[in-house]
């Protein structure tokens, strides 16, 4: 009877190939047990990727939508933050203005008018806030600043009221300058009169977040501060009673503007709440889709653990055989 034998080289190659195969199977099973997901998607879905592709498409769409909503949320937060900072600074100062007008103290009037300059510069700076490179208070033209330099605005107003000798006269010039078509539109405001486009907040849902430095409550706020700031530049000089009257007018205007600003902030706050609700809904939908996708690709941990144990047993047997073969000699063979 013929006896077939395997040569030493062939035997070595076979043992090495078996070792590589079993190690690969072991690594695959360890990975599947650690992730809970199959490593062979094609065999798991039986070659039919339609359902899995549908889940992937929905998740990709939601991920893109979530990024857009995050941008909307950031824009809304930047808007609210700037308005809140502005309101928190101006409201107590406007109360001080009313007190200064009532006390009739020249020193207090001088101090308030001097502070108005820094208040005006701070207000312009806050209204020139940007988010992700986009102007927040610029209307549709988000690639520009909302307002010109604070000093340039006050220079223009100073020239406009230079001939006025009464508080009421200064106020009337200010009213005309800040009215539609006045100096504010041509010199101070550098944004667009068109509102910023509605922003994405959910599936087929858009949100109006347009708050412009050209809105009436913002203009009234700037007007009240600027009226006091010009006192520091010498308007109505030598007329303490007229200066006190102008400060009183400015204080009243700022208190009214503050009430209007609070309404605007409430509207932005409502928009923020809508955005957060949308984000929660999308997160829930994404979690459901990921769970459904995971159920398709999930493995039976008990079955995989059993297979891993079998592979490890085979590896141990192979190691024992390899060790035994490596110890054979011609004397032992004979």
Q: What is the pLDDT of residues 26-77, one digit of tens each?
A: 566 566 555 655 555 545 555 555 777 777 788 888 888 899 999 999 999 9
74 lies in some domain:
yes
Is the separation of the CB atoms in 225 and 90 below 8 Å? yes
223 lies in some domain:
yes
pTM of the model: 0.75
CATH number, residue 127: 1.20.1330.10
34 lies in some domain:
no
Measured between alpha carbons, how far is 307 from 37 in angstroms, rounded to an integer? 15
302 lies in some domain:
no
pLDDT band at 206 (very low <50, low <70, confident <90, very high): confident
The pLDDT, as a whole number, for residue 330 is 42
The pLDDT, as a whole number, for residue 111 is 86
The pLDDT, as a whole number, for residue 97 is 85
Measured between alpha carbons, how far is 29 from 310 in angstroms, rounded to an integer? 11
Is the separation of the CB atoms in 120 and 229 below 8 Å? yes
212 lies in some domain:
yes
For residue 288, pLDDT over 90 is answered with no
What 3-state DSSP class applies to 86? Answer: helix
For residue 121, pLDDT over 50 is answered with yes
322 lies in some domain:
no
pLDDT band at 211 (very low <50, low <70, confident <90, very high): very high
Mean pLDDT of the chain: 82
Please indicate whether residue 20 or residue 60 has the higher confidence score (pLDDT): 60
For the chain, what is the domain count?
Answer: 1
Is the separation of the CB atoms in 209 and 196 below 8 Å? yes
Nearest C-alpha neighbor of 95 from the set 251, 217, 229? 251
46 lies in some domain:
no
- What mean pLDDT comes out for the span 281-296? 79
What 3-state DSSP class applies to 134? Answer: strand
31 lies in some domain:
no
Nearest C-alpha neighbor of 196 from the set 183, 211, 186? 211
- What mean pLDDT comes out for the span 17-34? 61
Please indicate whether residue 10 or residue 65 has the higher confidence score (pLDDT): 65
For residue 223, pLDDT over 60 is answered with yes
Cβ partners under 8 Å of residue 300, min gap 6? none
Percent of the chain with pLDDT over 70: 72
The residue segments making up the domain with residue 229 are: 52-289
pLDDT band at 4 (very low <50, low <70, confident <90, very high): very low
């Amino acid at each position: 009877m013929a006896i077939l034998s395997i040569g030493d080289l062939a035997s070595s190659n076979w043992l090495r190939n078996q070792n590589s195969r079993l190690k690969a199977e072991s690594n695959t099973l360890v990975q599947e047990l650690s992730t809970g997901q199959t490593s062979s998607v094609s065999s798991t879905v039986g070659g039919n990727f339609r359902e899995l592709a549908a889940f992937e498409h929905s998740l990709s769409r939601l991920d893109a939508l979530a990024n857009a909503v995050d941008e909307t949320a950031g824009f809304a937060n930047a808007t609210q933050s700037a308005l809140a900072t502005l309101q928190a600074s101006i409201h107590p100062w406007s109360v001080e203005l009313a007190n200064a007008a009532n006390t009739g103290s020249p020193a207090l009037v001088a101090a308030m008018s001097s502070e108005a300059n820094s208040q005006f510069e701070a207000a312009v700076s806050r209204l020139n806030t940007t988010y992700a490179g986009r102007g927040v208070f610029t209307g549709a033209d988000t690639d520009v600043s909302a307002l010109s330099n604070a000093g340039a605005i006050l220079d223009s107003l100073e020239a406009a009221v230079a001939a006025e000798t009464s508080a009421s006269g200064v106020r009337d010039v200010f009213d005309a300058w800040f009215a539609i078509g006045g100096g504010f539109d041509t010199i101070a405001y550098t944004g667009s009169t068109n509102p910023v486009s509605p922003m994405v907040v959910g599936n087929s849902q858009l949100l109006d977040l347009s708050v412009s430095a050209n809105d009436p409550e913002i203009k009234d706020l700037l007007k009240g501060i600027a009226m006091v700031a010009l006192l520091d530049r010498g308007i109505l000089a030598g007329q303490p009673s007229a200066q006190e009257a102008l400060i009183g007018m400015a204080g009243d205007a700022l208190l009214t503007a503050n009430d209007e600003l609070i309404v605007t902030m409430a509207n932005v706050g409502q928009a923020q709440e809508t955005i957060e609700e949308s984000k929660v809904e999308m997160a829930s939908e994404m979690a459901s889709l990921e769970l459904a996708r995971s159920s398709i690709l999930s493995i039976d941990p008990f079955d995989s653990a059993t297979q891993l144990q079998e592979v490890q047993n085979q590896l141990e047997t192979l190691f024992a055989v390899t060790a035994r073969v490596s110890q054979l000699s011609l004397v032992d063979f004979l």
